[in-house]
């Protein structure tokens, strides 16, 4: 009898399981279909605001060639471009740490510190302007600034840079290869062009790009939720395009003073320091958000170290919005999808060229 009861019970259990299985499968199928529709809708929305990274960051005025890139990387890592030999481009924009030094302000050749946070060089070639005040049009123009800046690399003039490089036979050969049409290839302008050409290769595709190219599984559910929250909060007013920024200037603290929230110790006037126009006070370049999860601290003065805090502050001072912790968490997850891979060969410093 006990055996019969056991068999009957097993049959009933099997029947229930069999009856339930198609229903469960149906629900799972419906959920998958719903998710697919939602993901397709999100992708369509995203394509109206963002773009995947292009394959190259070309400049018609400075064609990228292997010889220029090789020279540009050599110069990028070379401390000979600083007066005392303490700094290179890589000192403040380290390629092993996503193009930054993770300090509020960077230490210069003379031991002093700058007054603005060093932004990343990765993907910067795609920006519409350079520096926090937008004073340089491209990475080529930007590359010439720090070398003769008295606080940064402190070379007193361009002529001394050229003289130092001309005294190094290896560089003379490399400049000739990179600029074969130039009668005198070792010039300050060509230093800028070579470093710029190298920086134009520093692109970092990320999971975000796979999603933008149609791979709906490239982002997880929280990241997709964060993308929606990012868009709905109004962040794409400024942070749009392939870099999610880097295309315009904007007032920081549009609806509220940022100082109480950031704890900023400085009172940087932004673009106003260049133009002397009161209307340009607190106007700064909108930074690109690629690799933002790795390039702390944030803002022009490096005043905030936590990405979630920075997101919350931006919503408040730009839109007078108080984001929930859930919204912030999902937005941070979305921003983490912008983190790309740094190839080992990019991070590796070339063999130093010695002075004769």
Active site residues: 152
Query: Are 203 and 53 within 8 A, CB to CB?
Result: yes
- CB burial class (10 A; 0-12, 13-18, 19+) of residue 99? buried
Please name the residues in contact with 246: beta carbons below 8 A apart, sequence gap of 6 or more: 123, 124, 126, 127, 128, 129, 285, 286, 287, 288
CA gap 149, 312 in Å, rounded? 34
Structure tokens at 138: 């491209």
Which residue in the block uniquely carries the two structure tokens 């919503």?
315
Please classify residue 329 by burial: count the beta carbons closer than 10 Å to its beta carbon, then call 0-12 exposed, 13-18 middle and 19+ buried.
middle
Q: Work out the angle at residue 312's Cα, subtended by the Cα atoms of residues 52 and 40, and round it to the nearest 5 degrees.
A: 35
Token pair belonging to 341: 């891979």
């Amino acid at each position: 009898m006990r055996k019969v009861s056991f068999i009957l019970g097993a049959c009933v259990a099997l029947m229930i399981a069999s009856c339930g299985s198609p229903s469960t499968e149906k629900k799972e199928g419906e959920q998958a279909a719903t998710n697919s529709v939602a993901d397709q809708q999100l992708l369509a929305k995203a394509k109206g605001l963002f773009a995947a990274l292009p394959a190259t960051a070309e400049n018609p005025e400075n064609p990228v060639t292997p010889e220029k890139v090789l020279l540009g990387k050599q110069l990028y890592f070379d401390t000979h471009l600083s007066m005392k030999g303490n700094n290179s481009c890589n000192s403040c924009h380290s390629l092993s740490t996503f193009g930054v030094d993770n300090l509020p302000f960077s230490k210069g050749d003379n031991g002093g510190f700058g007054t603005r946070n060093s932004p990343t060089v990765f993907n910067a070639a795609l920006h519409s302007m350079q520096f926090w005040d937008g004073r340089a049009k491209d990475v080529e123009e930007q590359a010439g600034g720090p070398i003769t800046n008295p606080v940064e690399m402190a070379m007193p003039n361009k002529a001394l840079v050229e003289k130092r490089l001309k005294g190094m036979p290896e560089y003379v050969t490399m400049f000739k290869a990179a600029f074969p049409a130039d009668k005198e290839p070792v010039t300050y302008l060509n230093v800028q062009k070579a470093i710029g050409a190298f920086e134009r290769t520093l692109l970092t595709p990320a999971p975000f790009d796979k999603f933008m190219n149609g791979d709906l599984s490239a982002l997880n559910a929280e990241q997709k939720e964060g993308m929606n929250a990012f868009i709905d909060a109004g962040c794409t007013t400024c942070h749009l395009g392939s870099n999610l920024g880097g295309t315009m200037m904007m007032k920081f603290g549009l609806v509220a003073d940022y100082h109480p929230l950031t704890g900023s110790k400085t009172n940087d006037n932004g673009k106003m320091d260049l133009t002397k126009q009161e209307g340009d006070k607190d106007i700064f370049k909108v930074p690109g958000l690629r690799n933002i999860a790795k390039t702390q601290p944030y803002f022009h003065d490096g005043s905030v170290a936590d990405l979630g805090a920075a997101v919350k502050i931006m919503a408040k001072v730009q839109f007078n919005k108080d984001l929930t912790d859930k919204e912030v968490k999902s937005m941070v997850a979305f921003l983490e999808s912008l983190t790309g891979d740094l190839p080992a060969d990019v991070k590796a410093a070339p063999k130093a060229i010695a002075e004769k």
